Amino acid sequence: MSASAMKPSKSGVPLFGLALIVIGSAILLGKLHILHISFHSIFWPLVMILGLVGAGRGFSRNRRGQIFWNTVLFLYALFFFLRTSEFVEVHSHIVIPATFLIVGIAFLMTFVNNVRDWFFLAAALIFGGIGGFFILADLDYVSYWDVGESLAVYWPVALILFGLVILFRRRSCSAPGPPAS
């Protein structure tokens, strides 16, 4: 048997196992009154780290799905960390606009990975724009009436952008490549 056949197929540290050890240790130290740390102050930063590491691996391996979902994981963990901490006041009704913004940023990260996949930029602009408008309305920079009125008028732009993405993506996929030599 060759030496390469005896090696395990995966290399690196199993991050989920490491995260469970850290979380369990912190909870145990808290129950023993040795360390006073709340569950949220450990859990959400660990989830953020897992998301960042996963997104970094996605970038290094050029895996769009891994980049997208780990960016979503990181940003949701950041959102809930800020919501449970006392640093910033984040209201619960902002979850849906934050979701649009998070999905928009995840599409943007997927686009950054490969700028030839410009259709991810269109999705990033649409989702990020909608989420951004509603968050600005929640912060009283614009009124909800203006956001609703703008969406009522300009929602067909999303249809136009998605249609263009479908047309140009199909055209770029069916375009002949360079001749083989």
Please tell me which residue, 77 or 25, carries the higher pLDDT value.
Answer: 77
Are 48 and 84 a contacting pair, CB within 8 Å?
no
Higher pLDDT, 130 or 16: 130
- pLDDT confidence band for 5 (50 / 70 / 90): very low
pLDDT in tens, 102-141: 999 999 999 999 888 878 888 898 899 889 888 888 888 8
The 3 state secondary structure assigned to 42-64 is HHHHHHHHHHHHHHHHHHHHCCH
Task: Read off the tokens for 36.
Answer: 């006073």
Please give the average per-residue pLDDT across 12-39, as a whole number: 76
Predicted confidence band of residue 8 (pLDDT cuts 50, 70, 90): very low
pTM: 0.67
In this structure, are residues 119 and 64 in contact, taking their beta carbons and an 8 Å threshold? no
12: left (phi over 0), alpha (psi -120 to 50) or beta: left
Number of H helices, E strands in the chain: 8, 0
Give domain limits for the chain. 15-84, 91-173
